[in-house]
Every structure is written in C-alpha cells, then in structure tokens.
Amino acid sequence: MKVFKFGGASVKDADGIKNVYEVLQQVGHEDVLLVISAMGKTTNALEVVIKDYVSKSPELQSSIQEVKKYHNQILIDLFDDDKHPVFAAVNHIFSDLESFLKNNKSPNYNFVYDQIVSQGEIVSTTIVSHYFNYRGLKNQWLDVREFIKTDNTYRDAIVDWDQTQKLISKNVKKKSLNITQGFLGSDENNFTTTLGREGSDYTAAIFAYCLNAESVTIWKDVPGVLNADPRYFENAVLLNQISYREAIELAFYGATVIHPKTLQPLQKKEIPLYVKSFVNPLLPGTSVSKGADLEPHAPCFIVKKDQLLISLSSLDFSFIMEENISEIFALLHKYKMKVHLIQNSAISFSVCVDDKFGNFQELKTILSKKFKVTYNDNVSLYTIRHFNERSADAVAKNKEVLVRQVSRETMQIVTK
C-alpha cells in the first residue's frame, strides 16, 4: 500500500479537489490510503470560532457562518444536485459542532480546541470522499479517531503505538482507496485529540509504519524539498535526494515542508518518503531515504518567525550552574515552551523559544523570583545547515543580530 498526504492548499477550493482527483488518475489510486487536511485556511477560521466561543463574543455565530459558507460554496461548485447526500452529511457535521458549543461544560481550553478545530478535517474528507464517489472513483471513508489512539494531551497528543498498530493493521482494507483525516486521534474516552499543528504528515507516517507501506508521498504546491522557503529567500533550489538524517535535521530546525515527527517512524522501517508537486505530479520531486551520500551540498536556510528570546541572569552574580539550568528547563517544559536555541555564559542563560500556547507572562513571573529576566519578542531565528560565510553574511545583512551560534554543520542567528 502507498500512503498519500494532501494538505490544505491542495483542497482549498473545488478546482483543488478536482485536481486531486486528476492526480490520482495519473499516478494510480489502487491500494492507496489518502490522508487529507482541512481545506485552505479552515483551521485558522475555526480558531476564530474558538476565540469567540471562549470570550463569549457576540461574533460567534458570524464566525461559524463564515466556515459554513466557505464549505457550502465548495459543495455548490462540485455537485450539480443540491439534493446530493453530501449536503446533508456536511450539515450534520456543523450541527454536531454547534451542539458541542451549546452543551460543553469543560473549562479546559486545549480540550475545547481539539473538539472544535478537528471538524475541519472531518468536513474536508467527507466532501472529497463523496466527490470521488460522484466521479466514479469508489473509496472507503475512515474516521481516523477510530485508528490512531493517543493520551489526553490535547493539542499535542502522544500516540499509543501498540493500540494504534493493532487497530490499523486489523481494520484498514488493502487493495482499495481509503480516505482519512490528518492531524487527529482520540483518547481512551474517545474524545478527539490533535497531534500538533501541521500534523497531517505525521498521520501519514503513522499509517505507513503500521501498514508496512511501500512509500509515503506528501503532495505540495512546491516541486519538492527546497534548500530555502521561497517566501523568504530568493533563488531557492530543489534538493533531489536527501537522507533521513538530513530531513530530520531540517524538520527539527523548522523546515515547514515536512513535519518534525514524520521521519522517525519511516526511518525505523526504511519506508521511502517522496515530496512532490500536485501541480506537476509526474515530476520526480524529492526522495528521502537511507544513505549518508544523500546530503545536500548547497547551504539550506530555515527561518522561524515570531520567536521569543529570553535571557536570564543571576540576581547576585553567582554562576548559573547545572541545578539552575535543570530548574529552568523544568519550567520551560511545564509552560510548554518549544526551545530552538540555547546559549549560556557564567552568569547568564539565553533561550530562543516558540511560545505557541501564550504562557510566557506566567513563566516570566515565576522566573523573576530567582533571575533577572530580559526578553525580545517577535524575533526571527535563522538556521543555516551546511553554512559558509557567504550564506551567513546574506542572512545577517541589514539586520540586528542578537545571538549567533556555530557548530560543525549548522549556524543559527537570532535577529531583530
């Protein structure tokens, strides 16, 4: 079996969904499992719904209607008959969403987040499955929450691999086309969980691992893995082949083309990963597989925007030692700060973090009891794999450099 993953950009409108159908006609669809994300910017739109719900905003109904209107237009563009069962199926999903908003009693924001935002994937796969059947491409729609079981760490759930393996290997039909959702799972009480933003790649890897798949292909709007994000860097070039190790390094540092958790399960079973273009599906794209000789020879650039640089120094000029660092990291873990860079001296300690859960002010209050805390928000972290001085100078040009750190293969620069 092959596993294909199509992200939100590939199914953002009716033409996108029609194109996915055409891609499958060109590359084959027998014995394939499709993992599909929410359509376009639906996740962002549902986050607005969550914000309005939590804040008891009078705009809540309006934000819900925006999501419904967007999907309804796609339905109208795809199906000639408004009596087609897909219309009732999508209405039922939105009715369930509104019922949850009306009846929920949980004050847990992360729990609420997962129950609401997950509906984007449920709707998108429902529409795609019905459209393929409508075009004569028979498929089986799978609710991924019945297959991927996790703990109850809402918004960043940890997979129960043993249980997931049993459910997938027993219940996924081979020699057919299966369609399921990315990003989602469920806990032991069958409440929906999510695997972290952009987690659909990881979903594809989980299924591939459990099914001993032939390969995984991630279909993107770029020709493959580039050495830089073309939104931020000019003259980005395609990397034709890279090793699992290099792909893991690039993903860890923030390359958005592959989710960081995707590579490990594939590497364990040496399942090749392909990153290809859904615009030109017959082009070779990038292959990721085993082999030290597959490292790129050009510098690779990664940028993470909207980061937070926190600098701590001791109040009494005493050294910041191992016990202090241990305590700091325990707090960073507690407040869910994703650490991307560390630098320390005798009496100072700096970290560049991603505060995606908005916990910094609370963390700062705790840290201020023992340390002097200074910080820069909205900084950018540039990582250059296989750097040279020319590439480093290009990144730093016309920017205020706050931190520069160099290792054998990698340079990281924090800029304001």
Name the CATH superfamily for 300-415: VC0802-like (3.30.2130.10)
- Residue 298 — very low, low, confident or very high, per pLDDT cuts 50/70/90? confident
Note the pTM of the prediction, 2 decimals.
Answer: 0.85
Pairwise CA distance, residues 33 & 31, whole Å: 7
Q: What is the CATH number of domain 2-213?
A: 3.40.1160.10
Contact 183, 121 (CB under 8 A): yes
Residues ≥6 apart with Cβ < 8 Å to 44? none
- Residue 231 — very low, low, confident or very high, per pLDDT cuts 50/70/90? confident
pLDDT of residue 405: 96
Pairwise CA distance, residues 285 & 276, whole Å: 5
> Average per-residue pLDDT in the chain?
94
The phi, psi pair for 209, rounded to 5°, reads -60, -45
Pair of tokens at residue 200: 């659909």
Kindly state the percentage of the chain with pLDDT values over 90: 85
Fill in the amino acid letter for 218: I
Topology agreement, domain 2-213 and domain 300-415: no
DSSP letter at 30 equals T
Fill in the amino acid letter for 328: I
Pairing of strands 140-141, 177-181: parallel
Section 277-290 average pLDDT: 95
The helix (H) or strand (E) run that includes residue 25 is: helix 14-27
Fill in the amino acid letter for 64: I
Pairwise CA distance, residues 201 & 281, whole Å: 18
Pairwise CA distance, residues 373 & 355, whole Å: 16
The helix (H) or strand (E) run that includes residue 352 is: strand 348-354
pLDDT of residue 112: 98
- The domain spans of the chain are 2-213, 300-415
pLDDT of residue 234: 86
Contact 24, 169 (CB under 8 A): no
Pairwise CA distance, residues 293 & 247, whole Å: 13
How far is residue 168 from each of residues 162, 203, 212, measured CA to CA in Å?
10, 12, 11
* Annotated binding-site positions: 121, 231
Section 404-414 average pLDDT: 94
Q: Please determine, for residue 152, whether its predicted confidence score (pLDDT) is greater than 90.
A: yes
Torsion-angle region of residue 338: left (phi > 0), alpha (psi -120 to 50) or beta?
beta
Section 297-314 average pLDDT: 93
Section 216-232 average pLDDT: 92
- Residue 313 — very low, low, confident or very high, per pLDDT cuts 50/70/90? very high
* Annotated binding-site positions for ATP: 231
The least confident of 108-112, 195-199, 388-392 is 195-199
Section 263-292 average pLDDT: 93
* Annotated binding-site positions for substrate: 121
CA nearest to 35, candidates 194, 219, 211, 164? 219
Fill in the amino acid letter for 352: C
Coil vs helix vs strand at 179: strand
Cβ burial, residue 56 (10 Å; 0-12/13-18/19+): exposed
DSSP letter at 293 equals G
Q: Please determine, for residue 317, whether its predicted confidence score (pLDDT) is greater than 90.
A: no
Fill in the amino acid letter for 44: N
- Residue 294 — very low, low, confident or very high, per pLDDT cuts 50/70/90? low
Section 272-296 average pLDDT: 88
Residue the block writes with tokens 């659909």: 200
Section 159-185 average pLDDT: 97
- Residue 347 — very low, low, confident or very high, per pLDDT cuts 50/70/90? confident
pLDDT digits over 105-131, tens only?
999 999 999 999 999 999 999 999 999
pLDDT of residue 251: 83
The least confident of 20-29, 118-127, 134-143, 312-321 is 312-321
